[in-house]
Amino acid sequence: MTGNGPVRTGRARAADDPVRAPARIPVARLVEPRSVAVIGASDDLGKFGGRVVHYLAKFGFPGAVLPINPRGGTVQGLPAYPSVADLPDGADVAVLAVPAERLEAQVRACADAGIGACIVITGKLGEAGPEGAAIEARLAGIARATGMRLLGPNCLGIVNATGRAALSSTLALEGPVLRPGGIGLISQSGALMGTLLSLGLDYGAGFSRCISVGNQADLELCDFLDHLIEDAATRVIALYVEGLRDPPRFRALLARARAAGKPVLVVKAGRSEAGARAARSHTASLAGSYAAFEAVCRAGGAATMEDPATMILAADALDRLPRLAAPGLGVAVMASSGGAVVTAADQLPGIGARLARMGDATRAALAALMPDDHVHLPLDTGSFHGGTSEAGIRAALAAFMADPDVGAILYPMTTMPRMADHAARLPAISREGGKPILYAMTAGRVGDAARAAMLERAFPWFDRVGDALAALRAMEAVAARPAARPERPPGAGPAVPARLRPGPLTEAETKRLVAAYGIPVTRQALARTPEEAAAAADAIGYPAVLKGVSRAVAHKSDLGLVRLGLGDAAAVRAAAAEILRTLERVAPGAAEGVLVQETGRGEVELILGVVHDPGFGPMVLAGAGGTLVEVTRDTGLAPAPIGPEEAEALLRRLAVWPVLQGVRGRPPADVAAAAEALSRLSWLAHDLGDRLAELDINPLVVRARGGGVLALDGRATLRDGAEEPP
C-alpha cells in the first residue's frame, strides 16, 4: 500500500452544493489509480472479484490493492476491509463485482467514502431488461450527483499495461505476459477486449491501455478515446464500436488523433443489416448508418476494418513497423516460393493494392541476381542463380528500400531451409530502410523458430497472408493525406432562404435551391396549359422535355409523366395535355402544371444527393445516376462540407469512374465540373443542416471535359422551418 491518499473531490463538492453538478475527476485517474478497492474480493479465482485482486498482484500493480469483504480477514494474503467506509485512506478507484441487487448500495457507499471512480463489472443491467436499466439509471444518477465517474456496468474493466494496473477480470490475463506497448484498445464488448488482448500478446504486440466500456452509464467510449489521444504511451488506437453516444464528438476526436499522429482503427458492428439489428439490441446503443460512419472515418483518416482479430494485428503493425511514406505506393511481394508470392500477389487487388512498378535501378539490381526473364514482381528468390541466398535477399531488399514506388514489402515465407535465419534479418532491414516488411510465416509449427526470432527482435509477424493484407490496407487508409479545410466556392450561399413549405419540394423548387449554390440546372418554365407549354418550348428550344409537376408524385418516370425529345410545338402541346390528364387521375387536385425544359445531353449521368445522418448530420452522396441507382448501389458518401479535391476523390472511388475518364473512344467527362457541383452541394447541405431532410439531383449530366454539368432533375424534402434562398 502506498502512503498517497485518494482524492476526495466527489464527496466534498457534493456536500458543498448538491444542486450544481460537481466537478469530476479526470479519466486518467481511473486508468492510473494509486489505490484500488476491490468490492467482492475473494480467494476464489473463479469469481470476478477473485481474479481482479489476483491480476493486480500478478502483474505487479505498484499502488495499493484494498480487498473489501464483509467478513474482513485476508483475501489472497492481503488484509481485507469489511466495507469501503473502513478504508483508512479511501481509494482512487473501486472495482465492483457484486450481484446487481447490491450494486446501488455499494456505489453509494463508495460515493460516501469519497471514492471518485467506480469500475462496475457486474452485468445483467441495462442490456438485460427494464429492471436492470432502472438500477443502471440510478447508478448514473449517483455519479452525476456526486461527481463520481463510473465505468460500466457490464464491462471487464481497464487493463493499463504500461502502468501495470490490471483493473480487470478478463481471462486474457491468464497468460504469463502483459507486455507494455503502444496499442490503446477501447471495446464496447468486454469479451472482445480480452480476446484481442490475448491474441495481440501472442504476436508480441504491446499495449498501453485496454478499456472495456460496457453499458456506458456514465463514461463512454469517447471519454477514453480522448484519454488515449492525450496518453503519451499510446501510439495507435484500436476501437470496437457498436454505437456512438455523441457522433460529432467522435468525429472531432478523430481529427485530434490524426493531428496527434496517432492512427485510429475501427471495427464497427452493424455493417450488415442483420448485424445492425443485433448491435442495436446488444448494448442498447444507436447503431446509426454504417455508410455514414465509414464516410466519417475515411474523412478523419481512420481505417474501418471487418474483423476484430485482424484489427489488432494491424494496430500492432502500425505500432511497431515503419509506416508507409505516402498513400498509393506499390507493394513488392517476395519470398523463396513462386507459389507463395503469386498467390499473395493475386490477393492484392482485393484490398485495392497493386504490385510496385520497379524502377530501372531495382531491375538492374535484380538482373545481377537472376535470369532476366525472372526479374519481375512478385519476386521468387528461388530463381536467384544458385537459389535463395542471404546476399541475394539483402540485395533485393536494398533495391526495394531505395525504389520510390515501393511502399511496403510483403514477404510470405513458406517452409524452407533456415527459416529462422532468413526471418531474423528482416527486422533490421525494415527499420533501417524505413519501409514496412509485412512478414507472413505461413507454415505451421515448423515455422516457430522464425516466429521466435521475430518475437526476440520485437518485430511483428503474421500467420496468414490475409492478415498481412488487412494490415496493409489499414496502413494505407491511415496514410491518406488530410483534405484541406474546404473553402466556400464563390456564389455558393450562404443564402438566406425565403420561406418554403416544409415537406417535399417540387423539381422546380429543388432546382432553384441548388442553382442558388451555383449548380447549373436546365432552362425551364412551368406551364399551366398545353398552350403555355408550347410557348415556353418555343422560347427554350427543341427538342423539349416535359414533366408533370405535383408534390404528391415522387417517381415521375414510372407514371409516364416525363416525355423526352419533343421536336415541335405540336408535339409539346399534345404531350402536355396528356400529362395534365394523367396528373389529374393519379393525384387529383394536386397537379401544379407541366415543366417545360431544355434537353440536356452529356457523357455520363450521376446522382448527387444530400442525406441527413441522425448522428453525423449532413452528408453528400455521389454515384452512378439514372433510373437504376438503387440497383447498382454505386455510391459514395462524405460528411459536408467538402472541397472539390475531396469531391473528386469520392468520384474516383465509384465503379463508374472509368466511364468518367472516357472509355471506348468516348471523350473524358468534365470531372472537375462534377466535383465542383458536389462541393457546392455540400455547402448547401452544410448551411441548411437538419432543415434539409434529403435532396437528390438525378441525373446530373456530365458533359465532355470543359463542357460542365447540368442538373436535369431533382427533388428534396424540407423539415419545418426551412427557407428558400431569395
Q: Which is nearer to its own copies, 387 or 588 (CB)?
A: 387
Tell me the residue length of the chain: 726
- Asked if 192 interacts with its own copies (CB under 8 A), we say yes
CB under 8 A: which stretch of 3-11, 66-74, 226-234, 267-275 binds its own copies?
A: 267-275
Nearest in space to 75 (alpha carbons), one of 93, 97, 98, 49? 49
- Asked if 272 interacts with its own copies (CB under 8 A), we say yes
Q: How far apart are CA 49 and CA 70, in angstroms?
A: 13
Query: DSSP label at 642?
Result: -
Quick one: cell of 354? Answer: 497493386
Contact (Cβ atoms closer than 8 angstroms) between residue 378 and residue 342: yes
C-alpha angle 293-298-302 in degrees, rounded to nearest 5: 90
Query: Which residues, other chains included, contact 437 with Cβ-Cβ below 8 Å and sequence gap of 6+?
Result: 321, 397, 408, 409, 411, 426, 427, 429, 430
Q: How far apart are CA 289 and CA 340, in angstroms?
A: 39
Quick one: cell of 702? Answer: 456530365
CB under 8 A: which stretch of 181-189, 426-434, 477-485, 509-517 binds its own copies?
A: 181-189
**472 membership: H or E segment, kind and range:** helix 465-479
User: Residue 302 CB, nearest distance to its own copies (Å)?
Assistant: 17
Binding residues for its own copies restricted to 222-251, rule: CB under 8 A: 240, 242
- Asked if 656 interacts with its own copies (CB under 8 A), we say yes
Q: Which is nearer to its own copies, 243 or 493 (CB)?
A: 243
- Asked if 270 interacts with its own copies (CB under 8 A), we say yes
CB under 8 A: which stretch of 399-407, 438-446, 484-492, 637-645 binds its own copies?
A: 438-446
- Asked if 269 interacts with its own copies (CB under 8 A), we say yes
Binding residues for its own copies restricted to 309-338, rule: CB under 8 A: 309-310, 336-338
User: Residue 191 CB, nearest distance to its own copies (Å)?
Assistant: 3
User: Residue 308 CB, nearest distance to its own copies (Å)?
Assistant: 6
User: Residue 337 CB, nearest distance to its own copies (Å)?
Assistant: 3
Q: Nearest 5°: phi and psi at 439? A: -100, 120
Q: Which is nearer to its own copies, 25 or 331 (CB)?
A: 331
| Contacting residue, 7, 133, 395, 443, with its own copies by CB under 8 A | 443
CB under 8 A: which stretch of 178-186, 278-286, 530-538, 593-601 binds its own copies?
A: 278-286
Residue with cell 440510478: 138
Binding residues for its own copies restricted to 662-691, rule: CB under 8 A: 663-666
**Strands 165-168 and 157-160, bridge-based pairing:** antiparallel
- Asked if 342 interacts with its own copies (CB under 8 A), we say yes
Binding residues for its own copies restricted to 108-137, rule: CB under 8 A: 123-124, 127-129
| Contacting residue, 160, 162, 195, 524, with its own copies by CB under 8 A | 195
| Contacting residue, 568, 590, 628, 652, with its own copies by CB under 8 A | 628
| Contacting residue, 60, 99, 339, 541, with its own copies by CB under 8 A | 339
Q: How far apart are CA 31 and CA 255, in angstroms?
A: 23
Q: At what angle do helices 644-652 and 671-688 cross, to 10 degrees?
A: 120
Q: Is 601 exposed, middle or buried (0-12, 13-18, 19+ CB in 10 A)?
A: exposed
| Contacting residue, 83, 347, 529, 599, with its own copies by CB under 8 A | 347
Q: b/e string for 292-329 if b means 16 or more Cβ within 10 A?
A: bbbbbbbbbbbbbbeebbbbbbbbbbbbbbbbbeeeeb
Binding residues for its own copies restricted to 153-172, rule: CB under 8 A: 170-172
Q: How far apart are CA 568 and CA 97, in angstroms?
A: 82
Per-residue x/- track, 478-517, its own copies (CB under 8 A)? ----------------------------------------
User: Residue 279 CB, nearest distance to its own copies (Å)?
Assistant: 5
Binding residues for its own copies restricted to 351-370, rule: CB under 8 A: 354-355
Binding residues for its own copies restricted to 54-113, rule: CB under 8 A: none
